[in-house]
Amino acid sequence: MIIDDVMTDKITLHGLGFVQVQLQGDQRLHVWHPELPRRDCFEHSAIHDHRFSFVSRVLVGTQVNHCYKAHASAEGEFVLYLHEGKRQAGGGRPWTPDGRADMEHQYTEFIDAGSEYVSLAYDYHRTEPGGDGRVATIMRKTDEHPAGAHSTCRFGIQPDTNFARYQWPAARLWEVVREVLLA
């Protein structure tokens, strides 16, 4: 399936706890702040992959990136949820169960302001802001693939499929961006 409805809103929340700003040239500004809402199941569903590879430069703070290898298993600790199809009313894509897996932690990297990290398409990871929880990055896609990405959620935990990307007005999101970038 080809994903044909690219996010076009200039600024929105993301269920993983950051503000996402669409920029030109396949780039996005991502801004974390400790007061931002996250999906209800966040602690059980932060591991995910992307249908594109990217380079991310940390502008402010320290980004913590945990990398994982998925091992398919009918009894796996995590359910894999495929994200394909049209965006729903809250701005997210459908969560379609797509098997189970165990997630083996490979390594953790700490990326300070001024440095970059690379993530390859379909490699599983989770990111979190270090320090005081205020981090800003510029992410640039380097290639893109047609098959959807996956989120994971621990088996037995209901994923938050209704996280609303638009629950905060744009003006409030821009205030968060300004605070983090000007700190």
70 in a structural domain: yes
pLDDT at 52 (0 to 100): 96
107 in a structural domain: yes
42 in a structural domain: yes
74 Cβ neighbours under 8 A, 6+ residues apart? 100
86 in a structural domain: yes
**Tokens 């609303």 identify what position?**
164
pLDDT at 6 (0 to 100): 44
Distance of CA 32 to the CA centre of its chain: 11
pLDDT above 70 for 69:
yes
Return d(Cα 132, Cα 34) in angstroms, integer.
8
163 in a structural domain: no
Query: CA-based angle 95:42:114, to the nearest 5?
Result: 105
pLDDT at 8 (0 to 100): 55
pLDDT above 50 for 3:
no
74 in a structural domain: yes
pLDDT above 70 for 1:
no
Q: Which two tokens stand for residue 79?
A: 């359910």
4 in a structural domain: no
pLDDT above 50 for 9:
yes
- Domain range for 24 is 11-157+168-182
150 in a structural domain: yes
* pLDDT, the chain, mean: 92
pLDDT digits 0-9 by tens, 74-98 = 999 999 999 887 777 776 778 889 9
φ/ψ of 18, rounded to 5, equals -140, 165
pLDDT at 141 (0 to 100): 96
Return d(Cα 158, Cα 68) in angstroms, integer.
22
Instruction: Using a pLDDT cut of 70, give the percent of the chain over it.
Output: 95
**How many separate domains does the chain show?**
1
Q: Average pLDDT in the 101-108 region? A: 98
> How many Cβ atoms are within 10 Å of 166's Cβ, its own excluded?
14
Q: Sorting pLDDT into bands at 50, 70 and 90, what band is 62?
A: very high
Residue 91 belongs to domain with CATH number: 2.60.120
pLDDT at 79 (0 to 100): 97
161 Cβ neighbours under 8 A, 6+ residues apart? 92, 94, 95
107 SS3 class: strand
